[in-house]
Structure 1
Amino acid sequence: MTRRLAMAAGSAALLGACSIIPRGADVPSRPIENAPLPEPTETGLPQDRDRHRIALLVPMSGENGAVGQSIANATTMAILDTNANNLRITAYDTAINPRDAARRAVADGNKLILGPLMGENVGAVLSEARRADVPLISFSNDAAIASPDVFVMGQIPEQSIRRSVEYAREAKGVRDFAVVAPDGEYGRRAEAALQTAVADFGGRVVGSESYARGNTSVVSAMDRLVARGGFGGLLIADSARLATQAAGRVKPGGAGNTLIIGTELWSGDASVTRASALRGAIFSAVSDDRYRRFVDSYEARFGAQPYRISTLGYDAVLLTLRVARDWRVGRDFPVSQLRDSGGFVGLDGPFRFGRSGVIERAFEVREIRNGQVVVVDPAPNRFDD
């Protein structure tokens, strides 16, 4: 057991009987509980006559181990906060071999997989899970991996862009848009999202430029776009640092009327408030109202700050508990109940899964104003259609 995992296991043990079990090459298969345990099965897990077995597939070691551990800690919190006694969640390390992790999860009798974290691992996990009719609720934000038995729970960049375009058209009157985006998958998705949203809300895209990620390249791309001109709204699909470099070419010192539009990548980055070129810029993200309380509770329990993505682990448990009301132990997970049109409410606000299996979230619009990030159009509290 690595020191990092040993510390996490110790923290969980102090919390009480939380029914979270670590499983992997370098962690024990014994439940992290301080209550008397029933007799183990052949797999090493306790007998479960009254609990649903849920697998959590995340990296618990390696480059993304800290992120996976943060998600695992959040699932522990969700069970403790809800006093859930009908779920047993077992964590499997996907860092080395996600397919092997899925194979062990299926062999252990889990009926639902929360994860994996990386969209590129879905194929390997699904190859084992599908044989046993075990669905996935993935933490990825890649809508392309969704299928009848793969639900995508990550925050979808396209939805953030769409929300911002809607606000720019209806509240700011912007009609003509341009985009500067990095080479690669994220940039292509961002540009396509802008094209679709602008068309749906009655505007037009009049220019686009791409670049290899870097200060010089993004500035050159921005200069080419500015030379052509003719746009009132500009989507910069990159981090706050590179967005500041690009925005400085069209709004030096914050002067000018172009509406700068960012993406969900700006959420939580305090540097946006210090960049004069980003004054008046907007971007959309899920509400942080519940997240702030989650952070305080997480720090009190684990002595560290969580990764922002760890709320997905917490909300996945809440979602599973909601479905478990009408789910008999030992039966297949009732996938159809995930498509409740009324949606669910979690730490990141209201959400629901569409027919495609891709999550739909409620986003708020934020504006950078007077050195602060201000909510100018709150996220809706529920879905009306």
Structure 2
Amino acid sequence: MIEAKSPMRSARLRFSLALAASALLAACAVVPDQGRNQPSNQPAPPPPSLPTDVGRNRVALLVPMTGINAAAGQALANATTMALLDTNATSLRITTYDTGNGAAAAASRALADGNRLILGPVQADEAQQVGAMAHNARVPVISFSNDAGVAGNNVFVMGTVPTQSVARVVRFAKARGITRFAALVPVGSYGARVSNALIMATKASGAMLVGMESYDQSRNGLSNAVRRLKARGSYQAVLVGDTARVAALAAPLLKANAPAVRILGTELWGTDAASTQTPALYGAWYAALSDQRYPRFAESYRQRFGDTPYRLSTLGYDSVLLALRIAREWQPGTLFPTQRLYDRGGFLGLDGIFRFNDTDVIERSLEVREARWGTASVVSPAPTRFED
């Protein structure tokens, strides 16, 4: 059942993902208790603002339903509705709380209402605020952020992090004979994460990192960084740790005297059409979530809600599948069995298999794509299971 603290469209049509969602749930696995955060079997007192639940677990969805990010928040909320409808779920009560007026206020209301699991919020700073509030209540937060720095203390990061996309594309490039890497990264927290990821990835693969230059958003920032990078020595591939649109500006400069250099991208390219619309980026490689199941989801979403979903809305869908899988062993009124999130075999969702590591950051199975004219071809499919 879905309840909303803010308006939400819901028009259920014939087209359904029921069979697919049931298969995804059936493929999920749970390992025996490994001694993490033992849940209490004492039922929590029912909150005054919601009806008493006997057979359902309370789950809060914290997303922006007002403000500049309201459209993305609505897409996430719609996707959670789809997941419940497609699976005919009756074990969860999901209530939506608007973070548009502040994540802390939304979290305070969600905790007061007796929710024992929080899905969201989206922004890293919001996840930190909510996590601090939920920690004392022993309520885990499965954030949709892609910043691994906010993970820990019962906050789990479900968004795709650059560390994994960089590692995946570097391993692929190394297997194709590339041994000398370089990088251009933006100034800021995301650029810092990409930089650290590339250092670790090249070291792990036995490759050489020839040079790395950062750039700001000034008019000449990118071109100056390219000039400095070229002075570092020869390299076979350059990772541009930014959107494909920015990489499209850098690629002609990088290839001016070295047309054979391979351009590499990050997970940001997965939703950026510029990668297939710029000749200088043709042949570029990047790692992203698998789109194998996404078209069917998107079509069902359009028929239900009359709109095209945001790509991140699958996070809402998959987080509900995850909660439903664990709800099979989660008695209503008790604390969420957090240790079940650490299953090494992983879980299956629309975006492929995933699991949480011991740092509370999601590990995903990513595919590698090659940018071509008007499209991106999969040159290395996403693995279907974890090897360790």
Residue 310 (str. 1) matches residue 313 (str. 2) = yes
Q: Contact conserved, 2:162 with 2:194, CA < 8 A, in 1?
A: yes
Consecutive unaligned residues of structure 2, counting only runs of 5 or more, are 15-45
Q: Contact conserved, 1:264 with 1:284, CA < 8 A, in 2?
A: yes
Whole-angstrom distance in 2 between the partners of 1:194 and 1:14:
44
Q: Does the residue aligned with 1:219 lie in a helix, a strand or coil?
A: helix
Q: Does the residue aligned with 1:132 lie in a helix, a strand or coil?
A: coil
Q: 1:288 to 1:78 in 2, by over 3 A?
A: same
2:358 to 341, 355, 366: 355
Q: Pick which of 143-152 and 47-56 moved more.
A: 143-152
Whole-angstrom distance in 2 between the partners of 1:69 and 1:175:
44
Superposed displacement of residue 350, structure 1: 0.4
Q: Contact conserved, 1:252 with 1:277, CA < 8 A, in 2?
A: no
The residue that corresponds to 1:31 in the other structure is none
Superposed displacement of residue 42, structure 1: 6.2
Consecutive unaligned residues of structure 1, counting only runs of 5 or more, are 17-40
Give the aligned residue type for 2:251: A
The residue that corresponds to 1:188 in the other structure is 192
Whole-angstrom distance in 2 between the partners of 1:376 and 1:365:
6
Superposed displacement of residue 328, structure 1: 0.6
Whole-angstrom distance in 1 between the partners of 2:291 and 2:137:
37
The residue that corresponds to 1:271 in the other structure is 274
Whole-angstrom distance in 1 between the partners of 2:256 and 2:373:
16
Q: TM-score, normalised by structure 2?
A: 0.87
Q: 1:42 to 1:374 in 2, by over 3 A?
A: closer
The residue that corresponds to 1:142 in the other structure is 147
The residue that corresponds to 2:35 in the other structure is none
Residues 287-298 of structure 1 aligned to structure 2 (within 5 Å): 287-298=290-301
The residue that corresponds to 2:341 in the other structure is 338
Whole-angstrom distance in 2 between the partners of 1:245 and 1:108:
49
Whole-angstrom distance in 2 between the partners of 1:187 and 1:326:
41
2:10 to 12, 20, 28: 12
Residue 364 (str. 1) matches residue 364 (str. 2) = no
Q: Does the residue aligned with 2:220 lie in a helix, a strand or coil?
A: helix
Q: Does the residue aligned with 2:100 lie in a helix, a strand or coil?
A: coil
Superposed displacement of residue 215, structure 1: 5.5
1:159 to 164, 167, 177: 164
Residues 148-297 of structure 1 aligned to structure 2 (within 5 Å): 148-171=153-176, 173-213=177-217, 216-252=220-256, 256-297=259-300
Q: Contact conserved, 1:148 with 1:356, CA < 8 A, in 2?
A: no
Q: Contact conserved, 2:248 with 2:274, CA < 8 A, in 1?
A: no
2:328 to 325, 339, 362: 325
Whole-angstrom distance in 1 between the partners of 2:222 and 2:72:
29
Q: Cα RMSD over matched residues? A: 1.9
Q: Structure 1, residues 233-291: CA drift from partner, whole Å, max 9, x if none?
A: 100111112101111012249x7221110111111322222211112110000101111
Q: Pick which of 140-149 and 121-130 moved more.
A: 121-130
Q: Contact conserved, 2:183 with 2:240, CA < 8 A, in 1?
A: yes
Moved over 4 A (4+): 13-16
Q: Contact conserved, 1:215 with 1:242, CA < 8 A, in 2?
A: no
Whole-angstrom distance in 2 between the partners of 1:261 and 1:288:
19
Superposed displacement of residue 71, structure 1: 0.5
Q: 1:271 to 1:85 in 2, by over 3 A?
A: same
Sequence identity (%): 51
Q: Does the residue aligned with 2:293 lie in a helix, a strand or coil?
A: helix
Q: Does the residue aligned with 2:290 lie in a helix, a strand or coil?
A: coil
Give the aligned residue type for 1:294: F
Q: Pick which of 368-377 and 58-67 moved more.
A: 368-377
Give the aligned residue type for 1:237: G
Residue 113 (str. 1) matches residue 118 (str. 2) = yes
Whole-angstrom distance in 1 between the partners of 2:214 and 2:12:
51
What count of residue pairs does the alignment treat as equivalent? 353
Q: Structure 1, residues 103-146: CA drift from partner, whole Å, max 9, x if none?
A: 11111111101111111012321232122211111111111111
Q: 1:379 to 1:13 in 2, by over 3 A?
A: closer
Whole-angstrom distance in 2 between the partners of 1:327 and 1:200:
39
